[in-house]
Chain A
């Protein structure tokens, strides 16, 4: 069944969107990631204009993170204080990201920026994850316990604050900066940023793993909600019909995915996720590197 998206102004198959939402939902349920970094490129591939894909995906992430964070609130694994600090950074970053996004949109380079960001970050995260999980598979037979570093330069910065839930007493500067960085990416790439936030919280801020996911989800809701509002009011690119179709598929898929995920080994899961991330990255990089069949493209405008 074809459905006409009022904002994207293209006609797409509704079942294709439901299916995409479902597949990405299954994956995000299996691997515990938001799935935005997979969904947005997939939307590019099926012909949704990148500006609409990015803005709409931000809206969809609000839904999936809200659904996720409720479970974490029940288990009391959300550090509200840390979340708020990250959030302040995130909002600043998101506003910066929108400024950059709109500037490049006027120059006609926004597609390039979004795709480059994807290639770089998917490439980085994908290869790191791939190597890390290979190492983990090798180590699992030996049973080595990794030790956490106790003191780094991070602990010498000023403006210290006590984060009771995380059991940390650190400066607010690193979490603020992490927030800003993730906020910029959220605005430009249309992702929640969990795949960058989670490693940063564990390795950079030294937060205990059990509160990381809930706290990251908590702040992602607000940053993506803010991003959605900015895109909706400055670019008019949030397509609510598209968002709803993706949502339905995504929500159902996530629940199925969680059940599949429980039956698989963690290292295996991560290696599959890494391969998938690298595949998406490879496709995007290929499109940038190989001479396109049509060198010209049509944009709106006609000013100047």
Chain B
């Protein structure tokens, strides 16, 4: 949202004559359901560039970002104390998307101006930020966050993830890993020329637990006492059942 506002003001300030090129987008699905057998999923984002006049000669850039809900996190570092590795220093990061993918048709720095990136926070490193005074060395903690989440597929930078044909048709496939956080995932598609953003399209997709997963999760959080009793009842029934079945076998 903030990103959108900055962009709008940016467009107004730049006073672009008219939007010569516009994005038209389709999604392969409008929600991702986390079921009991959920094992990751893909979203196919495809579209076209609509223009009223012949395309300019300079290179077209297409950037697609998918951002999961922002969650504050604490990043901790281990240090050796008394011979063992213990969590010591920690840095709180106020805003970090739980999932973030940036797919582009060319490496991001070739199609997006550094200044534009600062304003729109498109690159992964700019999508994370701490409000309040940044502590000494907190950059290492932010880097560690990106590194760990990249390793688990939660953060993805795909420099050739967008397939672009004749500067008109584009598509990209974003893989969602199994360990997703629920919430609204914002999808933004930017068109750039000469490093400047010329158009933006945004939409969102809901990621939610469904069925049994939904029911258990809600019960555990909203009705913890009942959930605990239910877990115990299942355990006792299973224990009793097992002993009954096997003693029947023995006879």
Minimal beta-carbon separation of B74 from chain A (angstroms): 4
Q: Which of A1, A10, A65, A297 has the most CB of B within 10 A?
A: A297
What is the chain A residue whose CB lies nearest that of B78? A295
Q: Which listed segment binds A: B33-41, B111-119, B162-170?
A: B33-41
Q: Which residue of A11, A65, A304 contacts B179 across the interface (Cβ within 8 Å)?
A: A11
Q: Which listed segment binds A: B58-66, B86-94, B101-109?
A: B86-94
Minimal beta-carbon separation of B145 from chain A (angstroms): 6
In the bound complex, CA of A11 to CA of B230 (Å): 23
Q: Which residue of B38, B73, B94, B179 contacts A299 across the interface (Cβ within 8 Å)?
A: B73
Q: Which listed segment binds B: A75-83, A181-189, A231-239, A275-283?
A: A231-239
Q: Which residues of B contact A291 (CB under 8 A)?
A: 80, 85
Q: Are B224 and A4 neighbours in the complex by a CB distance under 8 Å?
A: no
Q: Which of B76, B231, B243, B247 has the most CB of A within 10 A?
A: B231
Q: Which listed segment binds A: B21-29, B47-55, B214-222?
A: B214-222
In the bound complex, CA of A297 to CA of B38 (Å): 25
Q: Which residues of B contact A288 (CB under 8 A)?
A: 84-85
A274 at the interface (CB under 8 A from B): no
A268 at the interface (CB under 8 A from B): no
A4-B213, A229-B228, A292-B85 known; A67+B38 contact, CB < 8 A: no
Q: Which residues of A contact B147 (CB under 8 A)?
A: 294, 296
Minimal beta-carbon separation of A241 from chain B (angstroms): 7
A112 at the interface (CB under 8 A from B): yes
What is the chain A residue whose CB lies nearest that of B229? A229
What is the chain B residue whose CB lies nearest that of A285? B84
Q: Which listed segment binds B: A38-46, A55-63, A140-148, A166-174?
A: A55-63
Q: Are B38 and A11 neighbours in the complex by a CB distance under 8 Å?
A: yes
Minimal beta-carbon separation of B88 from chain A (angstroms): 9
Q: Which listed segment binds B: A88-96, A192-200, A243-251?
A: A243-251
Interface SS of chain A: helix
What is the chain B residue whose CB lies nearest that of A8? B179
What is the chain A residue whose CB lies nearest that of B73? A298
In the bound complex, CA of A302 to CA of B86 (Å): 20
Q: Which residues of B contact A71 (CB under 8 A)?
A: 243, 247
In the bound complex, CA of A218 to CA of B39 (Å): 40
Q: Which residues of A contact B34 (CB under 8 A)?
A: 4
B83 at the interface (CB under 8 A from A): yes
What is the chain B residue whose CB lies nearest that of A241? B216
Q: How many residues of B contact A (CB 8 A)?
A: 61
Q: Which of A246-292 contact B (CB under 8 A)?
A: 247-248, 251-252, 254-255, 288-292
B225 at the interface (CB under 8 A from A): yes
In the bound complex, CA of A268 to CA of B236 (Å): 33
Encoded as 1 (CB less than 8 Å from any B CB) or 0, chain A from 1 to 36 comes to 111101101110000000000000000000000000
In the bound complex, CA of A298 to CA of B77 (Å): 9
Q: Are B220 and A236 neighbours in the complex by a CB distance under 8 Å?
A: yes
In the bound complex, CA of A290 to CA of B94 (Å): 31
Q: Which residue of B71, B217, B224 contacts A233 across the interface (Cβ within 8 Å)?
A: B224
In the bound complex, CA of A228 to CA of B224 (Å): 11
Of the A-B pairs whose beta carbons lie under 8 Å apart in the complex, a sample of 14, sorted by A's number, is A2-B39, A4-B35, A4-B39, A6-B213, A62-B235, A66-B240, A67-B240, A68-B243, A112-B84, A244-B234, A248-B238, A290-B85, A295-B78, A299-B76
Q: Which 9 A-B pairs have CB atoms at the shortest separation, nearest pair first? A: A302-B72, A232-B228, A66-B239, A296-B144, A11-B178, A67-B239, A63-B235, A251-B242, A301-B74
| 15 further A-B pairs in the complex, CB-CB below 8 A; given A60-B235, A62-B232 | A3-B36, A7-B217, A11-B39, A63-B238, A68-B243, A109-B86, A112-B86, A229-B225, A232-B225, A236-B220, A236-B224, A238-B220, A294-B144, A294-B148, A298-B75
Binding site for A on B (CB under 8 A): 34-40, 71-80, 83-87, 90, 92-94, 140-141, 144-145, 147-149, 178-179, 181, 209, 212-213, 216-217, 220-221, 224-225, 227-232, 234-236, 238-240, 242-243, 246-247
